Structure 1
Amino acid sequence: MLPAEGTLGRLAATLASADRPLMVAGPAPLAMRDARRDLERLRRALGAPLLADAASQQVPTLACGDLAGPRLEPDLILQVGRAPVGGRLERWVAGRRRVVLAGTPGHGWPDPSSDAEAVILGDLAATVGALAGVLPGRPASCWNDANAEYARAVEAAREEHLEGPWHEGHVLRTALARWPEAGLVVLGNSLPIRHADLWASPPRAGVLHQRGVSGIDGLVAGAAGAAVASDAPTLCVLGDVSFLHDLGGLSVARRAPAPLVVLVVDNDGGRIFERLPIHDALGPESFERLFTMGPGIDVAHAAATFGIPFARATDAASLNAALQEALGRPGPTVVHAPATGSRAADRALADTIAALPLPEGLA
């Protein structure tokens, strides 16, 4: 279902009036993969940089959107899909003039802050295509040129920081780059999806992402369902606590006819809590016991319980080898990737991006 013709015309006029437009693509259905070309046409006609959530099915023009995006000063934001997962970016977007394009909401309202100028509901992919067809193009501007220069500086900063010791971000970057375009990627909640945004290039495969009251529950079973329904190679990336919460999901994972990799990024607990104020309010012992709660399970034994092949990966080479082997056989494989240190790495990258000089036209 498309919005009414008059609605599209008014929206096109609103977008064309912006001098410093920005696009933000939030989590969206798999069908939006087929709309990549239309969304790029829309972006070019609008003359806007694109910040794209890892679950948006899109390719951003500016990496590290949760860190780099809030330094921009757009006069209008076009949000495509749901609100972004990254908390910093979500809060920043919520305080700006914006229009939201979204599919018919099935899991949450796409404007949780309830301050968008307009929320337009309909078939998201078809609406993007129709809007791209009616929006007049605009000439190149200093806004475009400055954003392109800024994007190059952000990517160079990220590449420099990736030269450091192996951490959770390296796991996401390596795994997503290796997974085939014809497959599916299921990104776990908490840090995996955030590290995909921060450290990885956009996945070539379609991306699924479960959200909910307790988003870490049922991830293995959900990935198994996706693998069975699609008959496509499926990669599920989740943390060690999420893995513990759905060990029983390994039973149904055995039904997958195509390769299904359950990649356990093991940083010994719920490390996302280290980024919240509660971390500084408690002593280390209480914090570890009450919040991070490292499960301390033997991942190899968990896989063996269900008769599932197992591999351990401690660097990019061993992870690539494990994924290659898993892709060569049907059914599930559990890959255990111990990795720590992302908190310091994330902070260092954030500090570097915050210190980048903004090109003329952005400052």
Structure 2
Amino acid sequence: MKHQEALTQYLAAFVTGLVHAGIKDVVISPGSRSTPLAMLMAAHTDLRIYMNIDERSAGFFALGLAKASRKPVALLCTSGTAAANYYPAVVEASLSRIPLIVLTADRPHELRNVGAPQAIDQIHLYGHHVRWFTDMALPEEGRAQANYAETFAVRAVKEATGLPKGPVHLNFPFREPLIPILNPNPFSQQRPPLLIENGRLLLPIESIKKLAEEWQTIEKGLIVCGPIDELGFSESVQNLAEKLGFPILADPLSQLRSNVVTDNHVIDSYDAILKSEKAVEQLKPELIIRFGDMPVSKPLSLFVKNLQDLQYVIVDGGAGWREPNHMATTMINSDEAIFCDDLAAQILESKKSKWLKMWLEMDVIAKDAISTYMVPSEELEEGKAVFELAKLLPEESTVFVGNSMPIRDMDTFFHKNKSNIRVMANRGANGIDGVVSSALGAAVHERPLFLVIGDLSFFHDMNGLLAAKLHKLNINIILLNNDGGGIFSYLPQAKEPKYFELLYGTPTGLNYEHAVQMYHGQYTKVFDWEGFKLAILEAVSHEGLNVIEIPTDRAKNLESHREMWQRVSREINNYLQDVE
């Protein structure tokens, strides 16, 4: 009884600390050793509990929750390989700066390294992928130990939401018996909460003034916005672009394509434009200011990498180092929105320029060429699926995008609008794993939510669909089924046909209707674009899991993309020849 009292007091204090630090959502996978924490979390009235049986799915579900809410989420599992199954989600959270509080139950010290069942080495299990790790003390009675537990809960949230944000890991050794005492209420006695306040990085006003003085004299400047999802940034960076007279090359994950304050600066077809060698040759800027992570576009990345005598400035509010091309000349650690506001305030008049006019005209030409090619096409192919979806999305909706081809098609075919559509993806490690679960986690906070995903990525995380059934979540999944790994058709591996299908094409030949039915979802297979349009319009009012499958052909998809890009390049080349 004394052990259970100590266990209860200790862990009730820890759970209280999490709540005081702002944790509201907890994802739990079932297990015995994690019982005391799980039961106390379930007993706390301020916590929302989401059960997820498979730990790999649970990790990504928690990641999607945190990504959508922009708040830290706690994640709890039992000891052993259960904790190892969190690893992919922890890696993604680290690279994409998502705050996860990873809590793993463990055997007590006397049962480690002695062959006890379900015991693995969980010390620093996630290595450098977490911002902070601690092996918690065994539960003991007394106010001092309760204060320690509560303080470490608050510290865990502080570390996860610091700069840069990311996952933390707390490992909890528990001795049996594992059942806490829930009556009387273990949360009735609380000390005043320990509060945390993480600040934002700001650049001194003297530095801002110096940059404003220098940059407003530059004619050929570019603002590049990669994946970034910070409230207020979209409006701030567009205001800065107007003052400087620079175009904004806006990645689909920058939240700029669908939160357009003015049509006069956002460029969304740069990926297609920069496939033209003539454009690459003639569009050399003097200055690039980049916000957010690396953009999706490979042509843009190659364009920047091959520039000479360039001022390349990266502004990062997370104080990280996201520059794989090693081209940066200045790294600025400052909150992105505040930086834009402060800089714009130092520039009195907005600037118009021939450089900006040329980018805007090319953007229109590229979009017209894409539209002219795509509109009459009757073929079911992946690019047109995104092209048509973009026109059908309701205002204030969210699109979660799978990696490989879907995110690249989003880059090409999702153009600027004023519908305030939020676009999300797991671009930290760019993996195809856990995408279904992440999207379902996001669906807790975002509705309506559409997931655009390829068949291999869907298969890879098919058990993630259980969350939709268990938690009655609403999600519309557009399944692009080319029966294999379509992205590899665009890579050099495709030139080796002897082993291509075996090693890279990897067709599965699966009927996904059966899987959807197993999870009590609605399934629709479309055979023409009118059927797709009707399915999307019906999806908005549909409750629960809804899967719309579009069968496509990998070879025809590759041919269609290449022909379209060639058309865009011809139009861009003709335009540049005329302006020379």
Return the TM-score normalized by structure 2. Answer: 0.58
After the TM superposition, which of the residue ranges 296-305 and 241-250 deviates more from structure 2?
296-305
Contact kept in structure 2, 1:251 and 1:306, CA below 8 Å: yes
Q: 2:272 aligns with which of 67, 89, 98?
A: 67
Aligned equivalent of 1:201: 415
Match of 1:116 in 2: 328
Q: Which amino acid aligns with 1:91?
A: L
Q: CA RMSD in A?
A: 2.3
Q: CA deviation at 1:208?
A: 1.1
Out of 205, 209, 212, the position equivalent to 1:5 is 205
Q: Is the 8 A contact 2:294 2:323 kept in 1?
A: yes
Tell me the CA shift for residue 328 of structure 1: 0.8
Q: 2:549 maps to what in 1?
A: 336
C-alpha distance 184-136 of structure 1, shift in aligned 2 (>3 A): same
User: SS of 1:216's equivalent?
Assistant: coil
Give, in whole Å, the separation in 1 of the partners of 2:322 and 2:406. Answer: 22
Q: Residues 214 and 56 from structure 1, CA distance in 2 versus in 1: closer, same or farther, beyond 3 angstroms?
A: closer
SS at match of 1:83: coil
**Where does residue 302 of structure 1 map in the other structure?**
515
Query: Is the radius of gyration larger for structure 1 or structure 2?
Result: 2
CA contact (8 A) 2:398 2:449 kept: yes
Query: Which residue in the other structure is 1:175 paired with?
Result: 389
Query: How many Å apart are 1:243 and its aligned residue?
Result: 0.4
- Find the aligned partners of 1:188 and 1:48 in 2 and give their Cα distance: 31
Partner of 2:44: none
Q: CA deviation at 1:304?
A: 0.8
Q: SS where residue 327 of structure 2 aligns?
A: coil
1:222 paired with 2:438, answer yes
The one-letter code matched in structure 1 to 2:335 is D
Which stretches in structure 2 are left out of the alignment for 5+ residues? Answer: 1-199, 258-264
Write out per-residue CA displacement over residues 255-282 of structure 1, whole angstroms, 9 at most, x where no aligned residue. 45553112111112111111111211x1
CA distance in 2, matches of 1:251, 1:200: 30
**1:62 aligned partner, one-letter code:** I
Structure 1's 6 and 361: CA in aligned 2 closer, same or farther, altered over 3 A?
farther
Q: Is the 8 A contact 2:478 2:548 kept in 1?
A: yes
Q: 1:46-65 CA distances to partner (integer Å, 9 max, x unpaired)?
A: 11222211111012733322
* 3-state secondary structure, aligned to 2:500: helix
Q: Which residue of 2 aligns with 1:49?
A: 247
Separation in 2, partners of 1:232, 1:256: 14
Q: Which residue of 1 is the match for residue 533 of structure 2?
A: 320
Bigger drift between 37-46 and 184-193 goes to 37-46
How many percent of aligned residue pairs carry the same amino acid? Answer: 28
The aligned counterpart of 2:292 is 81
Give structure 1 stretches of 5+ with no counterpart. Answer: none
**Contact kept in structure 2, 1:143 and 1:362, CA below 8 Å:** no
d(CA) in 2 for partners of 1:362 and 1:116?
31
Task: Say if 2:398 and 2:446, in contact at 8 Å, map to a contact too.
Answer: no
Quick one: distance in 2 between partners of 1:54 and 1:324? Answer: 23
SS of residue in 2 equivalent to 1:100: strand
* Alpha-carbon contact 2:315-2:333 (below 8 Å) kept: yes
Contact 2:256–2:266 (Cα < 8 Å) also in 1: no
Equivalence map 1:279-298=2 (5 Å)? 279-280=494-495, 282-283=496-497, 285-298=498-511
SS of match in other structure, 2:324: coil
Residues 314, 339 of structure 1: 8 Å contact kept: no
Tell me the distance in 1 between the aligned counterparts of 2:252 and 2:393: 14
Q: Which amino acid aligns with 2:421?
A: A
Comparing 127-136 with 331-340, greater Cα deviation is found at 127-136
Tell me the SS of whatever aligns to 1:55. Answer: helix
Contact 1:23 1:43 in 2 (8 A): yes
The alpha-carbon deviation at position 210 of structure 1 amounts to 0.1
Structure 2 CA distance for partners of 1:168 and 1:262, relative to 1, 3 Å? same
Change (3 A) 1:154 1:231: closer
Which letter maps to 1:12? Answer: A
Q: 1:118 and 1:197 mapped to 2: Cα distance?
A: 27
Aligned partner of residue 254 in structure 1, secondary structure: helix
Give the conservation status (yes or no) of the 8 Å contact 1:232–1:258.
no
Give the alignment partner of residue 135 of structure 1, picking from 336, 339, 347.
Answer: 347
Q: What secondary structure is seen at the aligned counterpart in 2 of 1:226?
A: helix
1:65-115 Cα deviation digits (max 9, x unpaired): 222146222221121211111212112223442212233167xx4212122
CA distance in 1, matches of 2:467, 2:524: 19
Once superposed, which parts of structure 1, at least 4 consecutive aligned residues long, lie more than 6 Å away? Answer: none
Contact 2:401-2:407 at 8 Å conserved across structures: yes
Paired amino acid for 1:87: K
The answer (yes or no) to whether the contact 1:86–1:194 under 8 Å persists in 2 is yes
Matching residue of 1:184: 398
Higher relative contact order (CA 8 A, sep 6+): 1
Distance 2:332 2:288 in 1: 14
Deviation by residue 1:166-197 (Cα, 9 ceiling, x = unmatched): 31111112223322232221111000010011
Q: Deviations over 1:134-162 (max 9, x none)?
A: 23435423223322322222122111111
Letter in 2 for 1:322: A
**Aligned mates of 2:373, 2:393 — CA distance in 1:** 23
Q: Distance in 2 between matches of 1:235 and 1:142?
A: 39
- Counterpart in the other structure of 1:152: 364
Residue range with higher mean Cα deviation, 247-256 or 266-275: 247-256
Alpha-carbon contact 2:219-2:353 (below 8 Å) kept: no
Cα separation, partners in 2 of 1:243 and 1:55, compared to 1, 3 Å: same
Contact 1:73–1:362 (CA<8 Å) still a contact in 2? no
Structure 1 Cα separation of the partners of residues 289 and 578 of structure 2: 20
User: Does structure 1 conserve the Cα–Cα contact (< 8 Å) formed by 2:520 and 2:545?
Assistant: no
TM-score (norm 1): 0.90
Task: Give aligned pairs, total.
Answer: 356
Q: Hey, what's the Cα distance between the residues in 1 that align with 2:380 and 2:389? A: 13
Residues of 1 paired with 2:362 and 2:224: CA distance? 17
